[in-house]
Structure 1
Amino acid sequence: MSFLNINKATKSYGSVKVLQQTNISVEEGEFLVLVGPSGCGKSTLLNMIAGIEEITSGDIEIAGRSMKGIKPSERNIAMVFQSYALYPNMTVKGNISFGMEMHRVPKKDREKKISEVAELLQITHLLDRKPGQLSGGQRQRVAMGRALTRNPDVFLFDEPLSNLDAKLRVDMRTEIKKLHQKLGTTIVYVTHDQIEALTLSTRIAVMYGGYVQQLGTPSEIYNNPANMFVAGFMGSPSMNLFPARISIQDGDALAEITAKDGSTSVLPLNSDVFTAYEGKEVILGLRPESITDYDSADPHSKSIHTIKARVEVVEPAGSDTFVITHLSGKDVVSRFRADTPVKAGDIQQFAVNMEKVVAFDPETEKRIA
């Protein structure tokens, strides 16, 4: 049985249903990330696990025990908030030990635990300071330290890095991943940042409109999106989505793509499912790294095909150069080598890895291949 089991859980406020029936099973030691845009239901679900929000219907079990009617303080969970929620008049040591004092942990045991946690998070030299004397990253470590003293069944993180600057966010992301690898504790982590989701998780639940749109490993979510929302939301830059007309020649499916100047390129498709779409439009999905300069194309792919199109914008990004062109009425982002000589206005040959293409029905927006 799963360690954390969310079984047909829903949440409504009056007649407004903010979380539709949700089923997620989390094994002990997993790192589950709930990701999606604001208002998708991810924080509501986290608060239901914590007991801050009551469940409207369904159930949530932790370690085989139903959480119905169980107070947050009795759930053996530890939560790290976006705002850190530190006591400003207490030292770091006081903040970390406060929960243990409330649970009447003996002083000797408290001191030992504070020392262990401070060493683990590298904040020993900060124990006598107050939160106002700390940087954002240091305050976040203290908040994590307070949670670690609990030895909880489940850690809950509610957008803990959103208040940090970009570099510090990357550094703290690494620290949280190291912490999980070292402790092996079950973690449920909420974020709207899909890069955080992909880099931290063992599994991801992509949420939108109160529904779990897809649940899977980072690789499954990135390479095999279930629908157009997941494809467009996950990844940076996100997956290119553009229409193509399907034709069938000698039993083989082909995708006809129109460039900005009106010229048409034809790309082969490797699935029999497209025969049902002959003469119709589908939405093709390709990651930027699957559309590149010819020298950077995947040497292991057996289906590299080229198209010619005008370069609209060039965006140098250090290790890569993003080249934007226009196909079938949509801007398409491709990933070139950093030193590729290309400039806006060029007619460029793009290498397309058709082994990586996915396709969606334009009406249902669900994946068809």
Structure 2
Amino acid sequence: MGFLDINNVTKSYGSVEVLHKVNIAVEEGEFLVLVGPSGCGKSTLLNMIAGLEDITSGEIRIKDARMNGVHPSNRNIAMVFQSYALYPNMTVGQNITFGLEMHGVPKAEREKAMADVAKLLQIEQLLDRKPGQLSGGQRQRVAMGRALVRNPDVFLFDEPLSNLDAKLRVDMRTEIKKLHQNLGTTIVYVTHDQIEAMTLSTRIAVMNGGYVQQLGTPKEIYDTPSNLFVATFMGSPSMNLIRTTIRIEGVAVYAVTQNDRGEEVRLALCAPLDAIKSYDGKDVILGIRPEALTDVEGADHRSSHIESIRNTVTVTEPAGSDTFVATTIGGAECVARMRADAEVLPGQQAEFAFNMEKAVVFDPESENRIL
């Protein structure tokens, strides 16, 4: 049992079920990110935790107290919205302490809480300004301050950075991460941005179509995606997916495909024979991240299992610290992450190194991971 428990929760609008038996236990001090494409149900789930949406079936518990039917004001949660939701006629200080005032907290306590939060968020100089005089990043800090001042059991963030420009998003991500590390608060955070999900979270719930596709640490989600949706949604560039055929020779297991000249290529898999023997002679999808497909000199020398393919470079994209190189393997375009100084040009033949210790295998019919 967790600090926040979501047990078999469903949500329906009429005859249409949009959330399907969601089960997540969030521990105290955990930073859980709900991530997925638009319409996957993540904001609906967050609103159900907040009490802004009714639960069709199942239950939500906070500190073992059942929240079904409990008014949002009685849940001891605080929510930070995408739109900031600040009162334009109030000063920053009044916006931060308004909730405390409504709950009858004495003025001296309100002012001390406001001063503590303002110092934490470095907005002391803004307390007498109105929201209209603030930048987007400053408004978001004020919205966070209004949530922090209440010292709730759970913080809920609903895509709080989506209205900010790219640089400010990165800066605010860092601030939110520091805040969590310093305060040890329990946070549930909704985003469609998988970079935000990976950098902020202690655990991620990847959602699609109203289902939790995978729940795990950022490393688990990235290295061992449970299915093709998670593999392609998480990671930028996304995981390369190559159609191959399994061939077993004695105790050796190979994923067989073709290079761009149609010649057979065999990639030895790091696979227990028992786990893959039922797929002998069958088509599977080999998944490999761009950083595990690179130039020979840039390959991970700690790996004991590097395979290489000589193939034609189709596109190169210098990206400062790396060069992204596209090529065609098994009829699919693949992206390799090579060193910045890798000497590769479009149309050239180049050696592509596969770190097979990082490769995963999916069933093309069920789309679930086999290895």
Per the alignment, residue 346 of structure 2 pairs with: 344
Q: CA RMSD in A?
A: 0.9
Q: How far 1:340 sits from its partner (Å)?
A: 1.0
Aligned to 2:299: 297
C-alpha distance in 1, partners of 2:179/2:304? 41
CA distance in 1, matches of 2:33, 2:134: 28
1:162 equivalenced with 2:179 (yes/no) = no
In the aligned structure 1, how far is the partner of 2:239 from the partner of 2:216? 17
C-alpha separation between the residues in 2 aligned to 1:328 and 1:183? Answer: 50
Alpha-carbon contact 2:6-2:23 (below 8 Å) kept: yes
Tell me how far apart the structure 1 counterparts of residues 127 and 341 of structure 2 sit (CA, whole Å): 48
Match of 2:102 in 1: 102
- Give the structure 1 partner of residue 317 of structure 2: 315
Q: Which runs of structure 2 are paired with 1:66-85 in the superposition (5 Å)? A: 66-85=66-85
Q: What CA deviation, in whole Å up to 9, does each residue of 1:251-273 have, x standing for no partner?
A: 42211121222122111112213
Structure 1 counterpart of 2:30: 30
Q: Aligned pair count?
A: 369
State the distance in 1 between where 2:347 and 2:195 align.
32
Residue in structure 1 matched with residue 359 of structure 2 by the alignment: 357
Mapped pair 1:284 → 2:286: yes
Cα distance between partner residues in 1 of 2:366 and 2:183: 43
CA deviation profile, 1:66-107 (whole Å, cap 9, x unmatched): 001100000000000001001111111111111111111111
**Any idea what SS the aligned residue of 1:94 has?**
helix
Q: Separation in 2 of the partners of 1:268 and 1:228? A: 21
Matched AA of 1:234: M
Task: Report SS of the residue matched to 1:82.
Answer: coil
**Are the counterparts in 1 of residues 9 and 23 from structure 2 also a CA contact under 8 Å?**
yes
Write out per-residue CA displacement over residues 101-128 of structure 1, whole angstroms, 9 at most, x where no aligned residue.
1111111111111111010000111111
**What runs of 5+ residues in structure 2 fail to find an aligned partner?**
none
Q: How far 1:8 sits from its partner (Å)?
A: 0.5
| Letter in structure 1 aligned against 2:250 | D
Q: Which residue of 1 aligns with 2:56?
A: 56
For residues 121 and 149 of structure 1, what CA distance do their matches in structure 2 show?
11
Alpha-carbon distance between aligned partners in 2 of 1:56 and 1:244, rounded to the nearest angstrom: 44
1:214 aligns with 2:214: yes
Report 1:122-133 matches (<5 A).
122-133=122-133
Quick one: which amino acid aligns to residue 264 of structure 2? T
Larger mean Cα displacement after TM superposition, 265-274 or 307-316: 265-274
Identity %: 69
Letter of the aligned partner of 1:144 in structure 2?
M
- Which runs of no fewer than 5 residues in structure 1 stay unpaired? none
Moved over 6 A (4+): none
* SS of corresponding position for 2:235: coil
SS in 2 for 1:98: helix
2:90 aligned with 1:90: yes
Alpha-carbon deviations, 1:156-189, whole Å to 9, x = none? 0000001111111010000000000111110000
1 CA distance for matches of 2:148 and 2:131? Answer: 18
Deviation at 1:278, TM superposition (A): 2.0
Aligned-partner SS, 1:296: coil
* Whole-angstrom CA distance in 2 between matches of 1:113 and 1:279: 67
Separation in 1 of the partners of 2:127 and 2:225?
Answer: 45
Instruction: Confirm or deny that 1:224 pairs with 2:185.
Output: no
Instruction: Tell me the residue number matched to 1:14.
Output: 14
Q: How does 1:198-277 map to 2 (within 5 A)?
A: 198-271=198-271, 272=273, 273-277=275-279
Distance in 2 between residues matched to 1:73 and 1:282, nearest whole Å: 51
- The residue type paired with residue 342 of structure 1 is V
> SS of the residue aligned with 1:167?
helix
Where 1:143 maps in the other structure, the secondary structure is: helix
**What's the CA shift string for 1:263-316, capped at 9, x where partnerless?**
221111122133222222100000001000111111111100110111111011
Instruction: Tell me the SS of whatever aligns to 1:350.
Output: strand
SS at match of 2:248: strand
Q: Give, in whole Å, the separation in 2 of the partners of 1:133 and 1:242.
A: 53
